[in-house]
């Protein structure tokens, strides 16, 4: 998943940073620090950004980025992660980072947070900082709510504002089609729309059902249990996403899929499939019929584990 691949001949460290989907997301309330208290089950999936890191002797942090919608260097989480490591550990080394962005920005897929976690791990190795997992977790929590999850990836229950991470058992591999509406969505705007109705009552399922479906490797049981409290505010804010979701509810079942769910705060949507081949066929069908980006992906194990 995010394992580093090193090219010794030029000292470059190369890593991949995966996207995620949310299989359960409930918002419990607003915290005194301004964040929202959440409980979410996140799962890393096989859509990746590529990053490479090469040490510089001048102490500078330089980022070369390729992709649409990327924030400027000062706001990019790759740069922020590198500078936080330098500041906290007094590291004199610099780095030249390259980012090839494939995970769409502002679609609820966690690409920026994943890049950030990959940077922490890669620079800990490149700069020989010998950071323990607990040190990385604390730094990750400072940088963003989803960043701690991406340090290990896999499938996990994330609580608090996302910083408390518990790995979950998953049997086999789950298959999805990600559908990317053209319009991005602001996480802040979606949460603002949600405020005032912060209950998870009436969703008709429980997070424990999601966990049981994952442990059994049962996509049909998973579909019944998936829940995202941000779905309604996201659809209210984005007529384009609402339109596409409505079409997918009829298109995906015809292609062998089930459900039409929102990842994070959106606008990315996903359906669940029994097999990789079904997902690939469905992605092609959605592209043809809707003219939007549709990608067949699968769940990923936690770092260091096997399928």
Q: Domains (ranges, CATH) in the chain?
A: 5-167 (3.30.230.10), 175-298 (3.30.70.890)
pLDDT tens over the chain, length 307 residues: 444 444 445 789 999 999 999 999 999 878 777 778 899 999 999 999 999 999 999 999 999 998 777 776 778 999 999 999 999 999 999 999 999 999 999 999 999 999 999 999 999 999 999 899 999 999 999 999 999 999 999 999 999 988 899 999 999 999 999 999 999 999 889 988 887 555 444 456 789 999 999 999 999 999 999 999 999 999 999 999 999 999 999 999 999 999 999 999 999 999 999 999 999 999 999 999 999 999 999 999 998 665 4
Query: pTM of the predicted model, to two decimals?
Result: 0.92
Token pair, residue 289, equals: 């019929």
Token pair, residue 182, equals: 């053209």
Backbone dihedral angles phi then psi of residue 5, each to the nearest 5 degrees:
-120, 120
Catalytic residues: 20, 146
- 230 and 264 in contact (C-beta within 8 Å)? yes
**Distance of alpha carbon 34 from alpha carbon 45, whole angstroms:** 29
Distances 285 to 39, 103, 250 between C-alpha atoms, Å: 34, 21, 12
Per-residue model confidence (pLDDT) at position 200: 46
Nearest to 237 by CA among 281, 305, 204, 189: 189
The enclosing H or E element of 233 equals helix 231-237
- 52 and 98 in contact (C-beta within 8 Å)? yes
Per-residue model confidence (pLDDT) at position 33: 75
- 252 and 294 in contact (C-beta within 8 Å)? no
Chain centroid, CA 281 distance in Å: 24
**Distance of alpha carbon 191 from alpha carbon 199, whole angstroms:** 13
Provide the b/e sequence for 211-222 (b: ≥16 CB within 10 Å): bebbeeebbeeb
DSSP class of residue 124 equals H
Per-residue model confidence (pLDDT) at position 44: 98
The torsion of the CA quartet 148, 150, 152, 156, rounded to 10 degrees, works out to 80
Token pair, residue 37, equals: 């208290």
């Amino acid at each position: 998943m995010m394992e580093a691949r090193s090219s010794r001949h030029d000292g470059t460290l190369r890593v991949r940073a995966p996207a995620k989907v949310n299989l359960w997301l409930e918002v419990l309330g607003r915290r005194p620090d301004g964040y929202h208290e959440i409980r979410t089950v996140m799962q890393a999936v096989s859509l990746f950004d590529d990053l490479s890191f090469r040490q510089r002797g001048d102490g500078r942090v330089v980022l070369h980025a390729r992709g649409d919608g990327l924030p400027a260097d000062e706001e990019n989480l790759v740069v922020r992660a590198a500078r936080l490591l330098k500041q906290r550990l007094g590291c004199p080394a610099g780095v030249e980072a390259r980012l090839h962005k494939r995970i769409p920005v502002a679609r609820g897929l966690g690409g920026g947070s994943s890049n950030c976690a990959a940077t922490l791990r890669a620079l800990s190795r490149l700069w020989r900082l010998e950071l323990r997992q607990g040190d990385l977790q604390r730094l990750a929590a400072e940088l963003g709510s989803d960043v701690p999850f991406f340090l290990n990836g896999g499938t996990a229950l994330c609580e608090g504002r996302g910083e408390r991470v518990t790995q979950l058992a998953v049997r086999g591999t789950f298959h999805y089609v990600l559908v990317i509406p053209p319009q991005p969505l602001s996480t802040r705007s979606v949460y603002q729309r949600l405020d005032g109705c912060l209950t998870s009552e009436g969703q008709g399922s429980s997070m424990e059902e999601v966990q049981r479906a994952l442990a059994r490797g049962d996509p049909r049981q998973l579909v019944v249990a998936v829940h995202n409290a941000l779905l309604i505010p996201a659809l209210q804010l984005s007529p384009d996403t609402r339109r596409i979701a409505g079409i997918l509810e009829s298109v995906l079942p015809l292609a062998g899929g089930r459900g039409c769910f929102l990842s994070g705060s959106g606008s990315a949507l996903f359906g669940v499939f029994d097999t990789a081949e079904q997902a690939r066929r469905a992605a092609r069908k959605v592209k043809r019929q809707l003219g939007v980006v549709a990608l067949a992906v699968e769940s990923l194990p936690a770092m260091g584990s096997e399928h």
